[in-house]
Amino acid sequence: MLLARMFNALDRLRAPRPVSAHCDLPCGVYDPAQARVEAESIKAIMEKFNASDDPYFRDRATLIKEQRAEECNHHLDVLWYQYFQPAHLEKYPQLHELFWSTKKLTSQAKRANDVAIADQLLAKINEIADIFWETKKA
């Protein structure tokens, strides 16, 4: 309690400095592999779901698949909102459509257990990865 009051007093004495960053903690570590791993997990879960008749297993698989789809969406958001900049859009005008369609596939993956959807999702993430690595070379 005393320590908290001390820190509050120090905060009032020190004026905040303006900072500029594209995220809360600008670590600069970005990689579409994070989204790809989640998409590969989604595909594997779909395959296991379709191979099982156990209703309890299928319930758990559905829950975990939905969580993996949320994580995949999150990693796509990080790339889209934090890594890609206006200069990238000038060079790769298809990025808007590519991210939009990829994120739509993550939503479809949450609702279905069709491995073809997971394959499409992986293909789109690979397209994003190709562009990502081209921008890293520049």
34 located within any domain: yes
Query: What integer pLDDT is reported at residue 138 of this predicted model?
Result: 79
44 located within any domain: yes
19 located within any domain: no
8 located within any domain: no
Query: What integer pLDDT is reported at residue 78 of this predicted model?
Result: 93
Task: Answer whether 83's CB lies under 8 Å from 19's CB.
Answer: no
24 located within any domain: no
Query: What integer pLDDT is reported at residue 126 of this predicted model?
Result: 99
Q: Report pTM.
A: 0.81
Cα–Cα distance, 137 to 18 (Å, whole number): 31
122 located within any domain: yes
Cα–Cα distance, 55 to 126 (Å, whole number): 33
Residue range(s) defining the domain that contains residue 113: 30-137
Give pLDDT tens digits along the chain (138 positions): 777 777 777 677 776 666 555 455 667 789 999 999 999 999 999 999 999 999 999 999 999 999 999 999 999 999 999 999 999 999 999 999 999 999 999 999 999 999 999 999 999 999 999 999 999 997
- How far, in whole angstroms, is CA 12 from its chain's centroid? 37
41 located within any domain: yes
Number of domains in the chain: 1
13 located within any domain: no
Q: Which CATH number covers residue 60?
A: 1.20.120.400
Q: What is the pLDDT of residues 78-107, one digit of tens each?
A: 999 999 999 999 999 999 999 999 999 999
